[in-house]
Amino acid sequence: MNNIFIIGVGLIGGSFALDIKTLYPKSTIFGIDKNDSNLDEAIQLGFIDKKANFDDLGSAEFVILAIPVDATLNILPQVLDQVSDTAIVIDTGSTKEDICLKVKDHPKRRNYLAAHPIAGTEFSGPKAAIQNLYKNKTNIICEVEETAFKLQEKALKLFSDLGMRIRYMNPKAHDKHIAYVSHLSHISSFMLGKTVIDKERNERDIFDMAGSGFASTVRLAKSSPAMWTPIFEQNKTNVIETLDEYISNLIHFKRLMENDDFEAVFNEMVKTNHIKEILNGIQ
């Protein structure tokens, strides 16, 4: 690959750039970002070669959108307007249905591949980019049949070189399932953090008692609100459904404790321990 454009040079886009530079050292990586200081930092860190703007996209062979999903809704059609017929454009968003619908009738829909690499950390910005972020991670691809076959091959070759596992889903199923395994996790973490912060206002010593269990559970609360608010908005229906189920389980657990039914508490946790086997099987 030659000219690769990355729109959004933070954790996700920057991590793509780092690995692409290793895999394809002769390629030129162009960066587009609404924050010019992010581009300066990415160039200083060495994973972006040159700054670019949307008018330059006609020379792109590969375009990666790594921006919040609300921005993707607006920018993806503009990118498709600019690219050549031989360019492949992918996004990396955590929601897929609204984005796929947005470009359903675009004249260059065949140039777009809807992707969601399930990888990341709680950090953001160019300095958060890390090598091998995508190695052994699952990449969900939606509506693959809508993308030109030769362009599919180009994207899939990159994903394979990055060490990713591929799963295919329709956008509606993707958004429903990801609400459980990702979006609900982030809400739980944010609200646990809020609960403890509210309590800490009165009990200043509480964080002195916070151990690794608390730190790992609340880790996602350090994630970017600018990224996650649009995700919750676009996947509102599915997220509310998962919250209803989660809240119901919390109320059930609380009632067991109120009724001193600790045998049932024990049994609930034993049943849930099965998740160890499930997670070990997918790692």
pLDDT tens across 203-234, in order?
A: 666 666 666 777 788 889 999 999 999 999 99
CB 13 within 8 A of CB 36: no
pLDDT value of residue 247: 97
pLDDT value of residue 231: 95
SS3 180: helix
Query: Mean pLDDT throughout 176-186?
Result: 94
- Range list of β-strands (E), 118-267: 138-142, 165-169
pLDDT higher than 80, residue 236: yes
Q: 76: closest CA among 59, 51, 93?
A: 93
Query: What's the whole-number average pLDDT of the chain?
Result: 93
pLDDT value of residue 210: 65
Does 209 or 83 have the greater pLDDT score? 83
Weakest mean pLDDT among 63-72, 204-213, 223-232, 243-252: 204-213
Task: State the pLDDT confidence band at 281, using cuts at 50, 70 and 90.
Answer: low
Q: 113: closest CA among 78, 81, 145?
A: 145
pLDDT higher than 60, residue 201: yes
- Specify which of 9-13, 210-214, 222-226, 275-279 reaches the highest per-range mean pLDDT: 9-13
Task: State the pLDDT confidence band at 96, using cuts at 50, 70 and 90.
Answer: very high
- Range list of β-strands (E), the chain: 3-7, 28-32, 50-51, 62-65, 88-91, 112-117, 138-142, 165-169
pLDDT value of residue 139: 97
CA 270/CA 33 separation, integer angstroms: 48
Distances (CA, A) of 139 to 19, 92, 151, 262, 273: 16, 9, 17, 41, 27
pLDDT value of residue 122: 85
pLDDT value of residue 16: 98
CB 6 within 8 A of CB 17: yes
Task: State the pLDDT confidence band at 274, using cuts at 50, 70 and 90.
Answer: confident
- Greatest Cα pair distance in the chain: 68
Weakest mean pLDDT among 97-101, 135-139, 279-283: 279-283
pLDDT digits (tens, 9 = 90+) for 112-139: 999 999 998 888 899 999 999 999 999 9
Spell out the domains of the chain, with CATH numbers in brackets.
3-170 (3.40.50.720), 174-282 (1.10.3660.10)
CA 259/CA 261 separation, integer angstroms: 5
pLDDT higher than 70, residue 77: yes
pLDDT value of residue 207: 63
In DSSP terms, 166 is beta-bridged to 139
Task: State the pLDDT confidence band at 100, using cuts at 50, 70 and 90.
Answer: very high
Query: Mean pLDDT throughout 93-99?
Result: 97
Query: Mean pLDDT throughout 136-165?
Result: 97
